[in-house]
Structure 1
Amino acid sequence: MLSRRSVTFILLMVVVGLNLRPALSSVAPLLTRLQEAAGLSPAAAGVLTTLPVLFLGLAAPIAPLLAKRLGSERALSAALLLLAAGLILRGLPLPGVLFIGSAMAGAAIGISGTLLPALVKRELPESADLLTGLYTMALCLGGALGAGLSVPLTEWLGSWQASLMSWSLLALFALILWQCQMPSTISHGMPQPPSSGLLKLLRKPLTWQVMLFMGIQSSMAYIVFGWLPTLLVDRGYDEASAGWTMAISIMCQLVSALGAPWLARMGSDQRPALLLVLFSTALGLWLLLIAPLAWKWPGAILLGLGQGGSFSLALSLLVLRTATSRLAGQLSGLVQGGGYTIAAIGPFSVGLLLQSGVHADQIAWLLILLVGVCCGFALLAGRTRQLDDQSGKLQVHRY
């Protein structure tokens, strides 16, 4: 039976999670409009879609330091405030603020996303992987709302600037709710060992296997967030239809985000589940971007199921591959920092490819090849291994 504290934390986790994707997914349906209104080239648009992901990766390793100084709860409050400020800034009619605000939002998401897995491991350690699925479902719902409502909000509010700024209201709501109801044990922030502990983690192949899996699957996700509507428009969709196709795909992520951790628990390790969701991602990309247009809805569904499951399992690996909440916090910072920095290459590369005249179907084949590479790291990261330093020495053992 869950305590009142646990239920409150779960609800707060969901509300915060809803805020960690609209900043990314709300831009993609408006990207063609932004290119026309702001005179952005495909390469500049690639920078715009890449900046949040890059700063997400650069900021993630800062999260454990903030948690040590401020406490995990207050650090998360600061991240939500930074997110709201970035969302407001990017819609102001000033030169360069679209890029600056996007970078601020990405940094805030990186800090928040790194803090939450360790908080989950601390608050409910026995169900950390399943709660990570619930948290991922909240992320996916936020992403779907950002993609689906972006164009309608532009029509209702009269401008794309107001549409982008409106998401700050959700961030401010989460900040107020978190401040009023956050767990009271500030002193239980994520304690950190000396920096040599991080170096020891980096020497473990398991750390790199999880990081590279996280990075490649995240790159796929942010390519979809940043460019899928543009690629669909290239195939003949109108702007609103492309946005809603992406929104439906992201909505389908809700199912696999919640269900993938349960599926992963059914076997002795996570490799079958990881390969299943990656195959679904590859097939969804093929149906959406290469097969006849009549297959768009099966493609959107399969892509959503694959990507939701991939991300949910990637976050689950952060808690499944660590024995303590402190190690989960450290691994989260390293894996998300390195992984999202790697992921930032994807959206920018797609922008360069489009500027070079590469067609959507050719890009799709490159993405499917990338999924195949990701399968190799899934086979390594999905094994039943766990980092543990409770003996005073960092070890990797089977469990």
Structure 2
Amino acid sequence: MLLLGIVLVGANMRAAIASVGPLIGFIRDDTGLSNGAVGWLTTIPLIGFAVLSPFAPSLARRYGTERTLVATLALMTIGIGLRAFDSVPLLFVGTAGVGIGIAVCNVLLPSIVKQNFINRVGFMTGLYSMTMSIFASIAAGISVPLSQGAGWGWRNTLLVWAALSLLGLLIWLPMARSSLARGGGGAKRTGSGKAANVWKSGLAWQITIYMGFQSFNYYVSVAWLPEILLSHGWSPVNAGWMLSVMQLTGIPFNFLVPAMAERLKDQRLVAAAGALIGMAGYAGLLIDNAAIATVAVILMGIGQSICISLALTFIALRARNATQAAALSGMSQSMGYALAALGPICLGALHDVTAAWTWPVIALLGTSSIMVAAGLGAGRNRYID
């Protein structure tokens, strides 16, 4: 049951956000929002990640991991439902609810894996990371066909993902009740072992920077890749499917990289390679050629999958125990997503100012360069204390 619960939480961690990117143009046209304003639909969840992540370990210690996850999945379900109403304010309020729910899940999963699967950290991280990409790919791929082809409209298309969060809630609910009956947060609580002051650790900051800029690049891609391809003459359906392709091509790496990283004593080469592969993909978007754009999207998917999988694995590998893993997860995801939150809105605004996607793409080349440097530090075989 715990394994299924982890997989379902992973499935919910990207689908509700990835489904928005292909529909950005339709949402903008329907609501009259600017590119900068509509970019908040992918930025607000990231702000939620940044603000809530430091508090997630405390919530889990106080109320128990299972009950905390039930509450956050319920909040996600409500938030997704609010996005379906014909109201711009509720669209943003619902998006905030989704972001808060995902924020807590983001932080708790690495700690749950560290606590319950200490000898299979790489496998379990790969499993839920792969699930994240699979459902993000599905969400991106079916958004335009459902919205336009099936005539559902963008609101009902976004509402579909409430079923997934509700299913996750139903799986975790019996575990939460069992935890309550035992009078605690579960047989294995999120925190155990000595904590470390992660905020004073240089290694923790390197992991945070790596996490932050990979998130920056990913969420910019989710928000604006379809629009970039539309500017090159792609149809909305094909542009949406290319976002799905970006997710799909990385799935094998989501699963393989954590297991490989766990066996390696030093992950610097893998960390740098992931950032460089992604950089090559972003560079390809500067060329107005369909074949090159297709290869570029594939490279983006591979690079992003390597980087997110490795960033999550670093949280477990660089911590000595579950308490340290929770603290490192809270820091890296809080500060990292605060950085990532700047991506969709700032690059959307940059496009509004320049009337082109050239400079936003060049910005992604710069963030990838920073990732290379941070990855060379985070990949060394050390602990945060």
Q: 1:27-66 alignment to 2 at 5 Å?
A: 27-66=20-59
Letter in 2 for 1:173: L
Q: Which whole-Å deviations, capped at 9, do the CAs of 1:295-336 have from their partners, x for residues lacking one? A: 232222211111011000000000000010111111111111
Query: Which of 368, 372, 376 is the equivalent residue of 1:375?
Result: 372
Give, in whole Å, the separation in 1 of the partners of 2:88 and 2:38: 15
How many residue pairs match? The answer is 378
Query: Which of 294, 301, 321 is the equivalent residue of 1:324?
Result: 321
RMSD of equivalent CA atoms? 1.8
Match of 1:337 in 2: 334
Q: Which moved more, 1:336-345 or 1:175-184?
A: 175-184
Q: Secondary structure at the match of 2:190?
A: coil
Match status 1:71 vs 2:68: no
Give, in whole Å, the separation in 1 of the partners of 2:330 and 2:114: 14
Query: CA contact under 8 A between 1:114 and 1:336: conserved in structure 2?
Result: yes
What is the CA-CA distance between 1:278 and the residue it aligns to? 1.1
Match of 2:190 in 1: 190
Match of 1:168 in 2: 162
Query: Which of 295, 298, 301 is the equivalent residue of 2:298?
Result: 301
Match status 1:177 vs 2:174: no
Query: CA contact under 8 A between 2:77 and 2:166: conserved in structure 1?
Result: yes
Give, in whole Å, the separation in 2 of the partners of 1:304 and 1:183: 39
What is the CA-CA distance between 1:146 and the residue it aligns to? 1.3
Give, in whole Å, the separation in 1 of the partners of 2:114 and 2:143: 34
Q: Which whole-Å deviations, capped at 9, do the CAs of 1:258-315 have from their partners, x for residues lacking one? A: 1112332454311111111111111112223436222232222211111011000000
Give, in whole Å, the separation in 2 of the partners of 1:290 and 1:67: 47
Structure 1, unmatched stretches of 5+, are 1-7, 388-394
What is the CA-CA distance between 1:212 and the residue it aligns to? 0.9
Match of 2:18 in 1: 25
Give, in whole Å, the separation in 2 of the partners of 1:223 and 1:110: 18
Query: CA contact under 8 A between 1:136 and 1:258: conserved in structure 2?
Result: yes
Letter in 2 for 1:229: P
Give, in whole Å, the separation in 1 of the partners of 2:40 and 2:263: 41
Q: Which whole-Å deviations, capped at 9, do the CAs of 1:168-216 have from their partners, x for residues lacking one? A: 011101111222357955343224899xx67x22111111111111101
Give, in whole Å, the separation in 2 of the partners of 1:300 and 1:336: 25
Letter in 1 for 2:347: V
Query: Which of 133, 137, 141 is the equivalent residue of 1:140?
Result: 133
Q: Which whole-Å deviations, capped at 9, do the CAs of 1:83-138 have from their partners, x for residues lacking one? A: 10100011112340111111110110000111111111111111113311111111
Give, in whole Å, the separation in 2 of the partners of 1:9 and 1:208: 31
Give, in whole Å, the separation in 1 of the partners of 2:313 and 2:304: 14
Match status 1:221 vs 2:221: no
What is the CA-CA distance between 1:363 and the residue it aligns to? 2.1
Q: 1:352-391 alignment to 2 at 5 Å?
A: 352-387=349-384
Give, in whole Å, the separation in 2 of the partners of 1:384 and 1:130: 19
Query: CA contact under 8 A between 1:71 and 1:189: conserved in structure 2?
Result: yes
Give, in whole Å, the separation in 1 of the partners of 2:123 and 2:326: 17
Q: CA distance change for structure 1 residues 19 and 344 in 2, over 3 Å: closer, same or farther?
A: same
Q: TM-score normalized by structure 2?
A: 0.94
Structure 2, unmatched stretches of 5+, are 180-184
Give, in whole Å, the separation in 2 of the partners of 1:193 and 1:97: 42
Q: Secondary structure at the match of 1:386?
A: coil
What is the CA-CA distance between 1:33 and the residue it aligns to? 0.7
Query: CA contact under 8 A between 1:263 and 1:273: conserved in structure 2?
Result: no
Give, in whole Å, the separation in 2 of the partners of 1:66 and 1:319: 20
Query: CA contact under 8 A between 1:233 and 1:242: conserved in structure 2?
Result: yes
Match of 1:159 in 2: 153
- Identity across the alignment (%): 32
Match of 1:150 in 2: 143
Query: Which of 278, 296, 304 is the equivalent residue of 1:281?
Result: 278
Match of 2:182 in 1: none
Give, in whole Å, the separation in 2 of the partners of 1:301 and 1:327: 35
Q: Which whole-Å deviations, capped at 9, do the CAs of 1:153-174 have from their partners, x for residues lacking one? A: 2132522111111110111011
Query: CA contact under 8 A between 2:232 and 2:288: conserved in structure 1?
Result: no
Q: Which moved more, 1:164-173 or 1:288-297?
A: 288-297
Give, in whole Å, the separation in 2 of the partners of 1:68 and 1:177: 21
